Structure 1
Amino acid sequence: GSGKSTLMHILGLLDHPTDGSYILDNKDISKISKSKQANIRNKQIGFVFQQFNLLPRTTVLDNVMLPTIYGKQKITETKARELIKEVGLTDRINYKSNQLSGGQIQR
């Protein structure tokens, strides 16, 4: 009830208010294009979701590399493999995310 999730979605540019306006950095968000909103969300807003939002039929490696497709900061496959190693999932690198345990997904 009280609208906490709705507020967070609006503040994070994942949703739009049905009434009123949202001013961020002196800009009315409703007047900014979807692509510019995505860029703001990518560069200035951070979220930690309760759900991990991995693509279930995509490998661990591809899930790690996917955000770089939409962002300007690119990582190499070598770097992605290093990150996967850091969280102890090297042996699962080619597994699809729907084949992982809850703890593995969290990592």
Structure 2
Amino acid sequence: MTSPYLKVRIVFGKQAMLGPGKAALLEGISQTGSISAAGRGMGMSYKRAWMLVEELNKAFREPLVESMRGGARGGGARLTPAGAVVLDHYRRLEDIMAEAGAARMAELQSMLRDMSEET
């Protein structure tokens, strides 16, 4: 049986949400320098990745991702300082919640039915 884990989704009213997918996309952009490469790495279309970046950029006071058009040096994207801070806060919140909830998750897991023989 695998260890339980939390997925953190923060809902800011009807206007914005930040969850595991958007955080992974931001991390991918930071690592690859490309929205399309980050999306591809997640099995996501270029259009979907761009749509999520636009949602994030509109939701926060400052854009989280800055894109550069192609040209002689090619295009690309990077996290803005605000984007790096948002991603860091999200990842720290995940760690805090996982640590604080570890005992209760273990208790819940101990109450699960044994499903090892079920397919």
Give the TM bin, normalised by the shorter chain.
under 0.3
TM-score normalized by the length of structure 2 = 0.23
TM-score normalized by the length of structure 1 = 0.24
Greater strand percent: which structure? 2
